[in-house]
């Protein structure tokens, strides 16, 4: 896969991966697994550790795709995740005391710095080859040479995967060849090819992905964020922002919190959105109930709020489906249509119910207050806030 094909693949597959498509992310893994394991192996010089680190790096990327602004940033970001994990592994190994067989081997090697082949077999052929062959190479050439042999000895492909120029790759390859014996370079080539991740690596990672929660895929967090719609808008919204739109604004607060804090998964948006929506719903009900003078009027308000609940639940469902199966513009369109329906209920249906209630002499002093809190200006302000919150979060998640 050349650089142009790789770039096209990432631009095609990443949007689907953000929406939770594991097959799309699996194709990205297949294209990048040699790179990630080579980086990890160059740092750790341990074959098994390099594959464990690579799997952890891919899982971390899957769960934090919402931090990615564009496809061109994916490979540099993934390489940095891998290097950080590999260095953490090295630090952990340095602080871990040796025990058992590992301690005996270390003591024996300290006593005899040139162990016999039989002693080396105790450490395992692959482990010894990794440590000895990689250590013999210049540090800045290890990733390049590993990937060069794993990618069919194509320097341009190595350059694209590591974010280097072809000239730099060729220089590092040349430096590695001149710094060690030809025999060692040949051994290294065989070692690099033999330790490349197999089909088992992909299968193991696929199993791990099946139980991992993708952050952006579940960019249905947009839908969950507006669980304020499913709770707050149900009560026709926030007092300060007006009507039904206020409920969506309350739910969108959860979405903004999830986006700004870059917390993976649906939970932050759901929790914050639901709490905000429930508070908004309670406040709205409390506010409208203060105007009711008879049980009949209170019953009308309750029926209206049930209607609002159905509208809010439908909007929530449609918005979540739009985010998961559509694109950003579909989600925005659904939000606009849903808010228009909700505002019609607020500005037309609720107004008809409230007019005779507000006509009571007991409510004379509060009519102006009601118009300010629940009037058209307040409702449209809430609509603007809700839409701005949704567009902002979609933009931060790279959906536009």
Number of domains in the chain: 2
Residue ranges of the chain with per-residue pLDDT less than 50: 98-124, 216-267
DSSP letters along 49-81, please?
HHHHHHHHHHHHHHHTGGG---GGGHHHHHHHH
Task: Provide the pLDDT for residue 291.
Answer: 92
Q: 98 and 241, same structural domain?
A: no
List the one residue out of 242, 201, 222, 268 whose CA is nearest residue 53: 201
Spatial separation of the C-alpha atoms in residues 219 and 63, rounded to whole Å: 11
Domain that includes residue 315, residue range:
221-396
List the one residue out of 228, 209, 208, 226 whose CA is nearest residue 217: 209
Spatial separation of the C-alpha atoms in residues 10 and 18, rounded to whole Å: 12
Q: 365 and 254, same structural domain?
A: yes
Contact yes or no for 343/334 (Cβ under 8 A): no
DSSP letters along 199-242, please?
HHHHHHHHHHHHHSPPTTTTTTHHHHHTHHHHHTGGGT--TTT-
Q: 29 and 177, same structural domain?
A: yes
Task: Provide the pLDDT for residue 212.
Answer: 63
Q: What b/e string do you get for 247-257 counting C-beta neighbours within 10 Å, with b at 16 or more?
A: bbbbbbbbbbb
Task: Provide the pLDDT for residue 368.
Answer: 86
Q: What b/e string do you get for 24-58 counting C-beta neighbours within 10 Å, with b at 16 or more?
A: bbbbbbbbbbbbbbbbbbbbbbbbebbbbbbbbbb
Residue after which a domain boundary falls, among 211, 232, 263: 211
Residue after which a domain boundary falls, among 178, 211, 244: 211
Q: 229 and 207, same structural domain?
A: no
Q: 305 and 167, same structural domain?
A: no
Handedness of CA 131, 132, 134, 139 (dihedral sign): positive
Task: Provide the pLDDT for residue 142.
Answer: 84
Has residue 216 been placed in a domain?
no
Q: 162 and 308, same structural domain?
A: no
Please give the model's pTM, rounded to 2 decimal places: 0.50
Residue after which a domain boundary falls, among 211, 243, 276: 211
Q: 297 and 203, same structural domain?
A: no
Task: Provide the pLDDT for residue 324.
Answer: 62
Task: Provide the pLDDT for residue 271.
Answer: 55
Q: 187 and 256, same structural domain?
A: no
Spatial separation of the C-alpha atoms in residues 124 and 300, rounded to whole Å: 79
Burial of 375 (0-12, 13-18, 19+ CB in 10 A): middle
Q: What end-to-end distance do the CA atoms of the chain give, in Å?
A: 27
Q: 98 and 35, same structural domain?
A: yes
Q: 93 and 58, same structural domain?
A: yes
């Amino acid at each position: 896969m050349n650089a142009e094909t790789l770039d096209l693949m990432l631009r095609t597959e990443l949007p689907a991966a953000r929406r939770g498509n594991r097959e799309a992310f699996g194709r990205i893994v297949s294209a990048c697994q040699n790179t990630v394991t080579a980086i990890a192996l160059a740092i750790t010089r341990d074959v098994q550790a390099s594959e464990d680190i690579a799997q952890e790096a891919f899982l971390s990327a899957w769960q934090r795709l919402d931090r990615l602004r564009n496809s061109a940033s994916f490979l540099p970001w993934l390489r940095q995740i891998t290097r950080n994990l590999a260095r953490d592994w090295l630090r952990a190994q340095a602080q871990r005391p040796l025990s058992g067989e590992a301690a005996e081997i270390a003591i024996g090697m300290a006593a005899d710095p040139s162990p016999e082949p039989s002693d080396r077999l105790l450490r395992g052929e692959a482990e010894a080859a990794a440590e000895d062959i990689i250590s013999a190479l210049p540090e800045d050439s290890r990733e390049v040479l590993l990937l060069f042999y794993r990618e069919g000895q194509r320097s341009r492909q190595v350059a694209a995967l590591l974010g280097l120029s072809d000239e730099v790759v060729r220089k590092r390859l040349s430096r590695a060849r001149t710094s060690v014996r030809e025999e060692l370079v040949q051994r290294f080539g065989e070692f690099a090819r033999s330790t490349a991740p197999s089909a088992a690596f992909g299968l193991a990672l696929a199993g791990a992905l099946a139980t991992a929660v993708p952050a952006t895929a579940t960019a249905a967090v947009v839908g969950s964020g507006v669980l304020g719609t499913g709770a707050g808008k149900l009560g026709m919204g926030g007092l300060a922002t007006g009507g039904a739109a206020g409920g969506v604004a309350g739910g969108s607060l959860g979405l903004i919190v999830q986006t700004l804090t870059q917390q993976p998964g649906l939970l932050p948006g759901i929790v914050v959105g639901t709490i905000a929506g429930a508070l908004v719903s309670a406040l709205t009900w409390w506010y409208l109930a203060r105007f009711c003078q008879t049980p009949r009027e209170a019953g009308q308000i309750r029926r209206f709020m049930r209607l609002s609940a159905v509208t809010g639940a439908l909007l929530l469902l449609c918005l979540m489906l739009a985010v998961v199966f559509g694109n950003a513009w579909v989600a925005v369109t659904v939000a606009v249509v849903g808010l228009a329906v909700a505002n019609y209920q607020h500005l037309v249906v609720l107004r008809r119910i409230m007019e005779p209630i507000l006509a009571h002499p007991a409510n004379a002093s509060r009519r102006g207050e009601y118009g300010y809190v629940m009037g058209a200006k307040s409702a449209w302000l809430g609509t603007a806030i809700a839409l701005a919150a949704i567009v902002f979060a979609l933009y931060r998640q790279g959906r536009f």
